[in-house]
Amino acid sequence: MLNKSEIINNLNTAHSVFWETAIQLPNPTISINHKWSVSQNVEHITIALLRLSNYLALPKSSIQSNFGFSERASINYEKSIMMYKNALEDGVKATGAFIPKIHLETNIEELVSQGKNALAVLILNLKYWSEEELEMYNCPHPILGKITVREILYFTNYHVQHHNQTIKNKPMKQVNKTRIAIAGIGGIGGFIGGKLAHYYSNIENIDIVFITRGENYEVINKKGLRLLSNDFLYKCVPTLTSNNPVEIGTIDIFIICTKNFSVTDVLQEYANCLTPNTTIITTQNTVNGKESITPYLPKGATLMEGSIYIASNSIKPGKIEHVSGPAKFIFGTDGENSKGENIAMIFNNAGIDATYTTNVKTVIWKKFMFVSPAAIVTALFQITFSEILENTKSEYLFINLISELMQLARAKNITIDDNTILNNITLLGNFNGHVKSSFQLDLEKSKPTEINSLVKYIIDEAKLFQISTPHFDSAINQLKKEYKVLAQ
């Protein structure tokens, strides 16, 4: 076990080596391959020193009341470092206040000077701690939890060595990468993003970015995403988890997996991440996505609409369960696009059954003619997919809703299969007993729903073509009576 004097000597030596390395490296403000620049690494170390210094300066009574006494002796230096290395292997990263700013003009010597001052204050505060007190009190660590003060000092020493190695190994030139961002890490986004992050975690020329918020962000950023699919648990660690457009940077492929009513908000929020070379892929259950999305895209950007057949839900923050049934992703354009097959290969290599099509309008209508009726019927009767065919009334409504959609599709010159009703009935049999529609789940939780794209759009569009939709009309009225959230 290292005593306080040895710890101080080690801290001075390790930080001096780090700062010397930082000053000598070229282009300290340049971020390569979306990794922290040298300047950002230096500021991160300074932030960590300041946070620990502030803790050491607290009255001991305050530390006791907020963090408590340690109930064990400190583990040795080697074991402490092994705990941190294991956490790094699990994909944990700096969060919140520990994330440095993006420095473009800051002088590296000034940043190093700030770091030296922070270490000097920390050591000054540490001198008021006895050897016994280093063992006595808990200190909170954002990754390791509550550890002893001696252990946090062990970590501080190794932490700067880790970052010294990081900046020494910093590549001197940009590697040509494809940067793929997935917005909305729920049932669908978690499945697609999880598979991509799992497969491409060690492949240098592809970055995977998760865009998410709240508790989902906190969990994934610390522990990665857990995806349970076909009885296999995937541990998925993306290159970056963020909701900050500046941190995310330029996106090459943008897969939007949010609810339909959030798509335009997402495109506006991350507009600065999109370029004329960006490909935007949507996955929403809608047949009017293109007309509503196009005004928000950069000139020259490629829009590929998508349709995914899957039963996948978010079980809790950071965990996705692919429940049962098919998992087929079809995306594309109306007409040829040179990017399509290459993107399909990226998906398929990651274990996502994906197909690029040049007739996407037919594809999204085919799915919509299943999803919209199934969502309406399961919500009205409060049943699962497989139970639709067990009740004459629910089956009758399901069939008639499909029939009205087929009439509208034909009026709009959409190519559809004459056997659509039979095909959809067959498809219901692929789902097990507890699968519900996301529309139904949202209604049960009084959350915002996709009723506009699933129901209202069809009613309004049918009127333009003078098509009668009595079952859609009746369904929306019944839904508003059944669910107060829709009556607002």
Look up the CATH number of the domain holding residue 20.
1.20.120.450
Position 173 in a domain:
no
Buried b (16+ CB within 10 A) or exposed e, 36-52: bbbbbbbbbbbbbbbbb
- Note whether 374 and 258 are same-domain residues: no
Q: Give the model's pLDDT for residue 345.
A: 94
Bridge-based pairing of strands 178-183 and 253-256 is parallel
114-124, pLDDT tens digit by residue? Answer: 999 999 999 99
338-387, pLDDT tens digit by residue? Answer: 899 999 999 999 989 999 999 999 999 999 999 999 999 999 999 999 89
pLDDT over 80 (residue 173) = no
- Note whether 117 and 187 are same-domain residues: no
- Note whether 324 and 275 are same-domain residues: yes
Question: How many domains would you assign to the chain?
Answer: 3
The domain that holds 220 is classified in CATH as 3.40.50.720
- Note whether 246 and 376 are same-domain residues: no
428-443, pLDDT tens digit by residue? Answer: 887 766 778 889 888 9
pLDDT over 70 (residue 113) = yes
The total number of residues written for the chain in this structure: 488
Confidence band, pLDDT 50/70/90 cuts, at residue 312: confident
Closest C-alpha among 321, 485, 467 to residue 406: 467
Q: What would the mean pLDDT of 53-74 be, rounded to a whole number?
A: 95
Q: What would the mean pLDDT of 95-107 be, rounded to a whole number?
A: 72
Q: Which domain holds residue 272?
A: 178-358
Bridge-based pairing of strands 319-332 and 353-357 is parallel
- Note whether 126 and 216 are same-domain residues: no
Position 433 in a domain:
yes
- Note whether 70 and 183 are same-domain residues: no
Domain boundary among 358, 391, 420: 358
Position 143 in a domain:
yes
Enter the tokens of residue 388. Answer: 């639709």
- Note whether 46 and 122 are same-domain residues: yes
Confidence band, pLDDT 50/70/90 cuts, at residue 153: very high
Q: Give the model's pLDDT for residue 231.
A: 80
Give the Cα separation of 287 and 163 in Å (integer). Answer: 49
pLDDT over 60 (residue 220) = yes
Can you give the pTM of this predicted structure?
Answer: 0.65
Position 200 in a domain:
yes
Closest C-alpha among 153, 131, 163 to residue 18: 163
- Note whether 306 and 255 are same-domain residues: yes
Q: Give the model's pLDDT for residue 89.
A: 67
- Note whether 293 and 378 are same-domain residues: no
Mean pLDDT over the full length of the chain:
91
